[in-house]
Amino acid sequence: MTATKKSEQRSMNPTHTESSREEFEETPTWTAVVTVLGYAILSALGWLRDFLRNVGLEEKKTSHDPNPKDFVPLYQSYECFYTRNLYTRIRDVFNQPIASVAGAKVDVMERVSDDFNWTFKFSGKKIPSINLGSYNYLGFAENSGPCSNQAIKSIEKYGLTTSSTRHELGTQKYMVELETLMAKYLSVEDCIAFGMGFATNALNIPALAGKGDLIISDTLNHTSLILGARLSGAVIRKFNHNDMKDLETELRNAIIHGQPRTCRPWKKILIIVEGVYSMEGSLCKLPEIIALKKKYKAYLYVDEAHSIGAIGSHGRGVVDYWNVSPDDIDIHMGTFTKSFGSAGGYIAGKKSLIDHIRIHTHSGCYCPSMSAPIVYQIISALSIIMGLDGTNDGQKRIKQLARNVRYFRRQLVDMGFIVYGNDNSPVVPVMIFMPAKIAAVNREMLKRGCAVVTVGFPATALTESRVRFCLSAGHTKEMLDDALKAMDEVGHLVSLRYSKRNPPLRWNELNRTDYENEYFSC
C-alpha cells in the first residue's frame, strides 16, 4: 500500500511566481474502516453468489470453454473472482464508448443493460458531455484546424503506412523532420520516435540495461516501465514514491553491497521516474533526483508521458518546470498521445545514446514505421507550441491550461474535497475511497453532463479509489464552472467532502470574485 503520510512540501521554483504545493492528505480512519468493510461485504456476497452458481440455483452468465472438460481450466477460479463479482457490478462505468472527437466536449454513447451489466445494448442515444477523462492537455484533439489539415494532406501524399521497418525502407523524410524538431524542442542532441508509447518503454529499456545492471524505480511507475525493466534482465529495486531519503538509501546500499550473492560491483545503475504520475497527480522532485544521481554516478530516465506539453511555462515538461538543464537527464522519454493529440512515443538525449537505440531497438527491425498523418499531427502541434507557425497560439494554450488547472483545483480544495497531487499538475485526483461510490460518482456526473474517469482497485490501492479529472486547454471557464457545479452536487449527494483541513462548503458559498480575479489575471 502506498504511504498516505501527510506530506506538504513547499518548493520555490524560479519559473513560477507562487510556490507550488504537493499534498496527499491522510485517509480519515473511519473512512478506511468502512471502505475495507465494504470490500469484505462485497467479497462475502461474491462467495455466496459463486456458491449458488456452482450449485445450479443461479444461472452462470460467464462464457464457457469450447474445449472438452478434461482440459486444464484456462483461468483459475480465484483469478476471475474479482471480475465476476465486483467488477461486473460497476462495469458500465468503464470502457464507455464515444462517438465523436475526444475534445473538450464529447458524445458518450448510451448503453443499457437488462442483466446487471453482463451484456450491453446501445440505446442509440448520444450524451453530449464535458470531457474530463481524455488526455487532451493542450486541446489538440480537434477534427478541424491546421493540424488535421496537415494530417489529411499527408495521407494523400504518403498513404497510411510504409509497411516496412526503420532498418529497411521505413524511414521517410517526415520521420527525420519530426525527430529533428523534437530534439530542438527539448534542447537535446537527437531524438528517435516510435509508433506506440507503451512499446517505447517496453522495447527500449532492454536496450539500455541488461544483466549486471540495477534499475531503481519509483513504486508508482507505469506498467510499461515495469515491463521494460523486467524484460531487460536487470535487477529491479523500488523506492517509495517521491521519497528522496529512500532513494538515497537504495543507491548507497547498492553501491556498497554490490550485486546480490556475488557482491560484484554493479555495471551501471539506472533510476527511472516519471514526470507527472497519472494516478497521483504528483510531480517528481527532479532537482533532488539530479543531485543524487550526480553524487552517486547513476543514470536517470525520466518518462514525461503526462508532463511534456502540459507542465512548464513553455510546455517543455518537468525540465522546464524545475528549470534544470536538459543535459542532466540522460534519457528523456515521452509520448505524443497526451499533449499532441496523436499517438506514439519518443526517446531523446545525446546522439551516442540515440544511435545506440536506433541500432538495438526492437521496433527497428520488427515494427513498421509511424504512419504519416500521425507524424504530421505531431509536427504541426509542435510547430504551434514552439511558435514556429508565426502565431502565439501555442503559448495561449499553455497559459490557458495553467489557468484552468489553478482555477479548478483551488475550488475543489476549498469545497472540502481531498485532492491529491501538485497544484500545477493537470491531473486532478479527488478521493472517493469507497467502492460503491466509484460507480455512483461516474453515473451521477454523466447525468449532469460530465464524462469523468473513476478508478479503484487494482489500478490504485485498495482503500484509495478516486475520480481523476484531466483538464485541457480546450476547456472554457463556463465548462469548468459547469463541472464544478456538477461535482458540488454529486459531492453533496454521495458525501465526498472528506477533507479535515478545509471545511465542507457548497459551490455557491465560495467567494466567486476571488477565483475569477485570479483566473482573468493569470
Partner 1 sequence: MGSPANHDNVASLATDFYSLLESFKETPFYHLLFEIFLVLTVLWLILFRKPRRIEKKLTEKEKQELIDEWQPEPLVPPVDANHPALNVRVLDGIVGKTIEIDGKKSLNFATFNFLNFVGNPRITDKAIQAVQKYGVGSCGPRGFYGTIDIHLELEERLAHFFNCEEGIIYSYGFSTVASIIPAYSKRNDILFVDEGVHYAIQKGVEASRSTVKWFRHNDISDLERLLVEQDIHDKKNPKKARTLRRFLIIEGLYMNYGDLCPLPRMVELKYQYKYRIFMDESVSFGTIGQTGRGVTEYYNIDRRKIDLISSSLEYSVGSIGGFAVGSSFVVDHQRLSAQGYCFSASLPPLLAAAAIEALNIMEEEDTTLCDTLMEKSKRLHQKLLDIKGYLIVGEDISPLKHLRLTNSQNTVARLEEIVEFAQTRGITITVARYLNDEHRLPEPSIRLILNVEMTDEELEFLCTVLQEARVKVTV
**Residue 297 interacting with partner 1 (CB under 8 A):** yes
**Residue 360 interacting with partner 1 (CB under 8 A):** yes
Rg (CA), the chain: 24
User: Closer CB to partner 1, residue 186 or residue 300?
Assistant: 300
**Residue 282 interacting with partner 1 (CB under 8 A):** no
Distance CA(431)–CA(409), nearest Å, equals 13
β-pair type (214-218, 269-274): parallel
Site string for partner 1, 372-401 (x = CB under 8 A): -xx--x------------------------
Site string for partner 1, 73-92 (x = CB under 8 A): xxxx------x---x-----
**Residue 141 interacting with partner 1 (CB under 8 A):** yes
**Residue 234 interacting with partner 1 (CB under 8 A):** no
User: Closer CB to partner 1, residue 183 or residue 415?
Assistant: 183
Which span (8-16, 127-135, 401-409, 505-513) binds partner 1, by CB under 8 A? 127-135
SS3 273: strand
Q: Least distance in Å: CB of 518 to partner 1?
A: 28
CA atoms within 13 A on the CB side of 480: 24
Distance CA(345)–CA(198), nearest Å, equals 8
Q: Least distance in Å: CB of 219 to partner 1?
A: 16
**Residue 138 interacting with partner 1 (CB under 8 A):** no
Among 65, 509, 516, 518, binds partner 1 (CB under 8 A): 65
**Residue 163 interacting with partner 1 (CB under 8 A):** yes
Q: Which three cell numbers stand for residue 24?
A: 496527499
The C-alpha cell 520516435 sits at: 193
The interface with partner 1 within residues 489-508 (CB under 8 A) comprises none
Distance CA(399)–CA(401), nearest Å, equals 5
The interface with partner 1 within residues 396-435 (CB under 8 A) comprises none
**Residue 37 interacting with partner 1 (CB under 8 A):** no
User: Closer CB to partner 1, residue 284 or residue 331?
Assistant: 331
Q: Least distance in Å: CB of 245 to partner 1?
A: 16
**Residue 71 interacting with partner 1 (CB under 8 A):** yes
Among 155, 211, 387, 511, binds partner 1 (CB under 8 A): 155
Whether the Cβ atoms of residue 311 and residue 321 lie closer than 8 Å to each other: yes
**Residue 133 interacting with partner 1 (CB under 8 A):** yes
**Residue 33 interacting with partner 1 (CB under 8 A):** no
Q: Which three cell numbers stand for residue 143?
A: 477534427
Q: Least distance in Å: CB of 423 to partner 1?
A: 23
Among 16, 21, 49, 356, binds partner 1 (CB under 8 A): 356
The interface with partner 1 within residues 188-227 (CB under 8 A) comprises 195-199, 202-203, 208, 222-224, 227
**Residue 176 interacting with partner 1 (CB under 8 A):** yes
**Residues whose CB falls within 8 Å of the CB of residue 359, separated by 6 or more in sequence, listed in order:** none
Helices 435-447/29-55 angle, 10° precision: 90
Helices 512-521/393-415 angle, 10° precision: 160
Among 5, 173, 245, 261, binds partner 1 (CB under 8 A): 173
User: Closer CB to partner 1, residue 30 or residue 71?
Assistant: 71
User: Closer CB to partner 1, residue 371 or residue 400?
Assistant: 371
Whether the Cβ atoms of residue 423 and residue 406 lie closer than 8 Å to each other: yes
DSSP, res 392: S
User: Closer CB to partner 1, residue 119 or residue 495?
Assistant: 119
**Residue 340 interacting with partner 1 (CB under 8 A):** yes
Among 97, 128, 387, 503, binds partner 1 (CB under 8 A): 97
Which span (307-315, 362-370, 415-423, 430-438) binds partner 1, by CB under 8 A? 362-370
**Residue 72 interacting with partner 1 (CB under 8 A):** yes
The 10 Å CB-count burial string (b at 16+, else e) for 62-87 is: eeeeeeeeeeeeeeeeeeeeeebbbb
**Residues whose CB falls within 8 Å of the CB of residue 451, separated by 6 or more in sequence, listed in order:** 96, 98, 106, 108, 129, 130, 131, 132, 133, 445
**Residues whose CB falls within 8 Å of the CB of residue 304, separated by 6 or more in sequence, listed in order:** 274, 275, 276, 317, 318, 332, 333, 334
Among 148, 217, 411, 425, binds partner 1 (CB under 8 A): 148
Q: Least distance in Å: CB of 465 to partner 1?
A: 14
Q: Which of 186, 204, 187, 205 is nearest to 195 (CA)?
A: 204
Q: Least distance in Å: CB of 122 to partner 1?
A: 9
Cis peptide before 458 (omega within 30 of 0): yes
Residues binding partner 1: number (CB under 8 A): 119
Q: Which three cell numbers stand for residue 245?
A: 531519503
Alpha-carbon separation of residue 39 from 27, 478, 481 (angstroms): 16, 38, 34
Distance CA(359)–CA(369), nearest Å, equals 14
User: Closer CB to partner 1, residue 185 or residue 336?
Assistant: 336
